[in-house]
Amino acid sequence: MSNLVDMSRKLARGKVTSRELVDRCLSAIADSEGEGSRAFLTVYEERAKAEADHIDQARTKGLHVPSFAGIPISIKDLFDVAGEVTRAGSRVLDEEAAAAVDCVVVSRLRRAGFVLLGKTNMTEFAYSGLGMNTHFGTPLNPYDRPSGRIPGGSTSGGAVSVADGMAAATIGTDTGGSCRIPAAFCGIVGFKSTSARVPRQGAFPLSKTLDSIGPLANSVSCCAVLDSVLSGGEGVDEESFPEIGLRIGVLEGYVTEKLDDHVAASYQTALARLSSRGVTLKPITINELGELPHVNRNGGLVGADAYAWHRTYLESRAEHYDPWVRARFEAGKAQSAADYIELIEQRARLIAVVRKKAHMFDALALPTVQITPPTIASLSDPELSNPINLLCLRNTAVGNFLDRPAISIPCHELGTAPVGFMLMADTGQDRRLLAIARGVEYAIRSG
């Protein structure tokens, strides 16, 4: 699919209809040889068609409609939609009451005219970077599909829905990498906003401290448009930040340890392309980032927040959890109040340290994930899946801990395993980061 701005123009000029766009996506979802049955947990087929027809009729009559009216997108299974039980990729919530109203994010998407195709699969309660789900199945990564590789999580189905042309874009959440990991693994763009930028009312939480909401799409432009809508704007794109004079700090040390050869080579090629276009690259090592495993040794903010939220469910409906996910929640029980207070203090200290050391740069660069997507079969044993999960989260979780916006852009050669190139900016600099990312994306993809 073309990007959202191009689609909007084609719809306005009558080059394509909303119904045509919706039908293409629904056809891809229904394809028995595709991943639709695993990528989507709910499909709003009839409603999506009716909305598309209504928008097309309004345009035919010359009535005013929003710029992006009629473009089909998907949303993660943890957003409230009025009249539906919000499952968050789990069976634990099956007996909960249906949502009374749409969550803020869904309301804003509808107001902008987007057509919601359905809710996408995810890691149960968003608590993993792998993207596997034992309740509803795991959508297979578009890369090397016969080998059955993981899509990355937790926004697994959403990433696959975009990569496979089942949606023009998707909306996910990111607590430790859940937009950026699946984007990197599936070869698309994923954006994590500053935590408070997009209202989280009506989105099932994992960590109220770290949760953020962001888009996954085929381009930085699409993510910029959706970030604008999600944060209460009109769907504004960003102009590319000038490459000449752009200063990027290339993080080394903690975030470049344990890179596999393909990731390392793809990342270095991307840096070389940026340098050749006049971008100023300067290595920077922030040794304090190496303290993160120790700081989070008792489960971190996610462990404490998640256990506090799930404590009642763990007591009353424990048997409905995936045992692997349940064990992660229960681990949060061991964290003391003193541990939590120390963690909050350490977080404030590290945020200040990184801000001071990185202030001279427009953005920081680092690989999104250290490895390429492994096979589902190779992760059947928790002794193997647990360390791989932590490795997948290693770099992306830095942005969440520091509350910095971050974006993953594909940097691999076509036909090879997907690799993500990540940019990270200071807290609240979301729109500036998106402008920077637009230019970086062009440089990386054009070679």
| CA separation for the pair 226, 191 (Å, rounded) | 10
| CB contact at 8 A, 239 and 233 | no
* Nearest alpha-carbon partner for 398 in 258, 264, 289: 289
| CA separation for the pair 92, 87 (Å, rounded) | 8
> Which residues have a Cβ under 8 Å from the Cβ of 152 and sit 6 or more positions away?
129, 130, 131, 141, 159, 181, 182, 183, 184, 185, 186, 369, 373, 392
DSSP 3-state assignment of 158?
helix
pLDDT at 262: 98
Would you put residue 373 in left (φ > 0), alpha (ψ -120 to 50) or beta? beta
> Which residues have a Cβ under 8 Å from the Cβ of 401 and sit 6 or more positions away?
210, 292, 296, 300, 301, 347, 350
| CB contact at 8 A, 300 and 355 | no
Q: What is the pLDDT of residues 111-142, one digit of tens each?
A: 999 999 999 999 999 999 999 999 999 999 99
pLDDT at 446: 74
DSSP 85-138: ---TT-STTTTSPPPSS--HHHHHHHHTTPEEEEEEP-SGGG--SS---TTT--
DSSP 3-state assignment of 42?
strand
> Which residues have a Cβ under 8 Å from the Cβ of 60 and sit 6 or more positions away?
none
Enumerate domains of the chain plus CATH numbers.
4-230 (3.90.1300.10), 247-446 (3.90.1300.10)
Q: Determine phi and psi for 75, rounding to 5 degrees.
A: -135, 150
Residue 94: Cβ within 10 Å count? 10
Query: 55-80 burial, b if ≥16 CB within 10 A, otherwise e?
Result: bbebbeeeeebbbbbbbbbbbbbbbb
Q: Residue 37 corresponds to which tokens in the numbers above?
A: 């049955």
| CA separation for the pair 367, 266 (Å, rounded) | 9
* Nearest alpha-carbon partner for 110 in 26, 30, 199, 229: 229
| CB contact at 8 A, 113 and 65 | yes
| CA separation for the pair 208, 75 (Å, rounded) | 20
Cis peptide before 2 (omega within 30 of 0): no
Residue 254: Cβ within 10 Å count? 20
* Amino acid of residue 118: G
| CA separation for the pair 252, 352 (Å, rounded) | 19
Would you put residue 71 in left (φ > 0), alpha (ψ -120 to 50) or beta? beta
| CA separation for the pair 107, 114 (Å, rounded) | 10
| CA separation for the pair 173, 126 (Å, rounded) | 8
| CA separation for the pair 230, 221 (Å, rounded) | 14
Q: Please give the positions annotated as active site.
A: 76, 154, 178
pLDDT at 447: 66
| CA separation for the pair 384, 391 (Å, rounded) | 11
| CB contact at 8 A, 436 and 425 | yes
Please identify every stretch of the chain with a pLDDT value under 50, giving residue numbers as ranges.
none
The CA distances from residue 437 to 117, 243, 335, in Å, are: 28, 10, 38
| CB contact at 8 A, 244 and 210 | no
Q: What is the pLDDT of residues 285-304, one digit of tens each?
A: 999 999 999 999 999 999 99
| CB contact at 8 A, 433 and 362 | no
Q: Residue 314 corresponds to which tokens in the numbers above?
A: 């763990």
